[in-house]
A and B are shown apart, each in its own frame.
Chain A
Amino acid sequence: MDKTLFDKVWEQHVVCEINDGPSVLYIDRHFIHEVTSPQAFTGLNEKGLQVFRPKQTIATADHNVPTYDQHLPIKNALSRKQVSVLTENCKTYGIELYGLGHPYQGIVHVIGPELGITQPGMTIVCGDSHTSTHGAFGNIAFGIGTSEVQHVLATQTLLQFKPKTMRINVEGDLQNGVMAKDLILYIISKIGMGGATGYFVEYSGQAIRNLSMESRMTVCNMSIEMGARGGMIAPDEVTFEYLKNREFAPRGKAWGKMISYWNTLHTDVDAVFDRKLTFHAEDIAPMITFGTNPGMGMCIDEMVPSPEHKLNGETYSFDKSISYMNIDSGTMLLGKKVNYVFIGSCTNGRIEDLRQVARVVKGRKKAPNITALIVPGSRQVEAMARKEGIDKILEAAGFELRQPGCSACLAMNEDKIPKGEYCVSTSNRNFEGRQGPGSRTLLASPLTAAATAIKGYIADVREII
């Protein structure tokens, strides 16, 4: 019988099934960080249990770390404690930790792929909803809660119900100035933030095939923002080329063997999905959000819609949302003054994103009203940016490259947007207060964020590049 990519990977990992219940699903790789793991280790410790497969769990400190002076002790006592508890737990249980100061440190979903830990056909979990990022390599990768972190630590498995499958096909070619971020914001704006709840998505079509690995990661990263358990893309030459010679990628004979296996990881012609959607890349312009959930997005040159245009009769949320944002229906966001720009996160903190930003700011100056936070996704991204001179380009334009971490995406550290201020952000969530209490987030691509930082108001990057 013809199978979907999801079915192939799922079936490969089922240890056993419970009648009328979930399956015991084997987990190949498990990433942990300081915020959602401490209680899981406490749970193990209380029961006198060991970590079952310590080599298959990889740790880093990212959510709650400062983005400057990382060589000094963390100032905030609670954050410092969380990071030191992670360090102790990794030491006690024999888990590899890429902590602050380590050349591999960075946001979990940036370092997994760049180290070649993330490989096609795996099951990957982490106590973080953006684990869906790793699906770009043809993986079943999804976010879990802390109880489940404990389950994986102790058994390398999880009890999971098989989700429904959805295929999202994107045909055609993306236009100049339109990035993968715009593509995924466009899809979410069409199906809504709960539109894929209960589903695992496979992205396909020419526009997806033509994306680089890093762009594919951006797409899969935001699958959770439409409620999907995860998103995946079948591996191909682009995937193999990206993985080749990475630190933990297979080498020599093993490489050839794995390529043969990876080539089987695609959806068969007659495989059946529970739902299928098709979009056209030509319809997608640079996107921006105007509300307080990622589904409230529009093309940058459109007017903020009125609640009647919204699907699912979500009037209450819609009104509350645009009132929080202090944005009116029927107005344009283009030209609106903003004082903050954030470039970074697991969505858009990779080298390709920084290169695009450099492309826009090179030879220009930051607008005087703008405070910009440019945060690389990892130490390796930071090193590459410096090697390529991107840091110099940024400095010449009045910007500064910070040190890696999740930063203002969720504002657990000092990187917060003040109350009432707007921030054009390359991150993934525009929820109320997400970037600091009272902050107002407008999600966009790195190109749009860079253009806004140069102009001092929301700008259409197509008019600059």
Chain B
Amino acid sequence: MDKHYLAERMEKFDKLISSVVPLAGENIDTDQIIPARFLKATTREGFGENLFRDWRYDDKGEKVKDFPLNNKKYTGKILLAGKNFGCGSSREHAAWAIFDYGFRVVVSSYFADIFKNNALNNGLLPVQVSETFSETLFRSIEDKPGMEVEVDLKAQLIKLPGMSISEPFEINPFKKHCLLTGKDDFEFLLDHLESIREFEKNSIYTLETY
């Protein structure tokens, strides 16, 4: 097995300073992030094109002008979204689409569990902030579109550099290590095959003795 390749599979994440694309509204589900009709691909690439498809484009395929991703005021690698982002379907295509579009961080006051896992498995950092901080961010960006925000994974801190406003965020130490080094769960699990085999000796539902 080529360890070098595995280690390089996930993009490393350390620190990011970027402007922000704000997307208001709670409970943005993965069907909105990437509608089911675009899940017919058999590869991981190219989903960014259809990110938020039905909010970004009207039924004639024209861009919806006031949708934040189409608004030239808003650019950057950080997506700021309302509470309970990524709920619904487990489709990892949602994380792929956000990443493929160019985002590296999603900020929300609340993430759905499966989406959070999927994001972390793809080098997309979910930053969970307080509702107050989220509101401050939304307001600040509305006032000053193009304003940069700094996300520092090592320090677990998100800050608005010019305004001396910051908030620490939680991330599990193991997941943090994965993102900082670009390693993922997969490599870790492959290193445990021996203990998995050992476990199977007493496992009720393992189908065969291997």
Contact = CB atoms under 8 A, between A and B. Distances in A.
Chain B associates with chain A: yes
Interface of A: 12, 15-16, 18, 20-22, 24, 26, 28-29, 35-36, 38-39, 42-43, 46-49, 52-53, 55-56, 63-64, 76, 78-79, 81-82, 85, 119, 121-122, 127-129, 142-148, 150-151, 154-159, 161, 163, 193-194, 197-198, 224, 227, 229, 261, 293, 312, 314, 316-317, 320, 410-412, 419, 429, 431-434, 437-438
30 contacts: A12-B204, A20-B174, A21-B174, A24-B189, A26-B199, A28-B204, A39-B42, A46-B5, A47-B6, A53-B207, A76-B40, A82-B40, A127-B92, A143-B90, A143-B114, A144-B90, A145-B91, A145-B114, A148-B121, A151-B189, A154-B186, A155-B196, A197-B110, A293-B27, A410-B31, A410-B36, A419-B59, A429-B88, A431-B88, A434-B36
Interface residues of B, number: 64
Interface in B1-18: 1-2, 5-6
A22 B176 CA distance: 12
Contacts of A314: 26-27, 83
B31 A433 contact: yes
Interface of B: 1-2, 5-6, 24-27, 29, 31-32, 35-37, 39-44, 54, 59, 82-84, 87-93, 95, 110, 112-114, 117-118, 121-122, 172-175, 184-186, 188-190, 192-193, 195-196, 199-200, 203-208, 210
A91 B210 CA distance: 21
A63 B36 CA distance: 10
Contacts of B207: 53, 55-56
A22 B84 CA distance: 22
B195 A15 contact: yes
Nearest to A419: B59
Contacts of A144: 90, 114, 117
Closest 9 CB pairs of A and B: A21-B174, A145-B92, A143-B90, A78-B40, A28-B205, A38-B42, A145-B118, A194-B84, A147-B121
Contact of B184 (A15, A147, A434): A147
A137 to B, nearest CB: 12
Most buried by A among B44, B89, B173: B89
Contact of B24 (A22, A229, A316): A316
A261 B90 contact: no
A242 B90 CA distance: 29
A150 B186 contact: yes
Nearest to A436: B37
A432 B114 CA distance: 20
Contacts of A148: 117, 121, 185
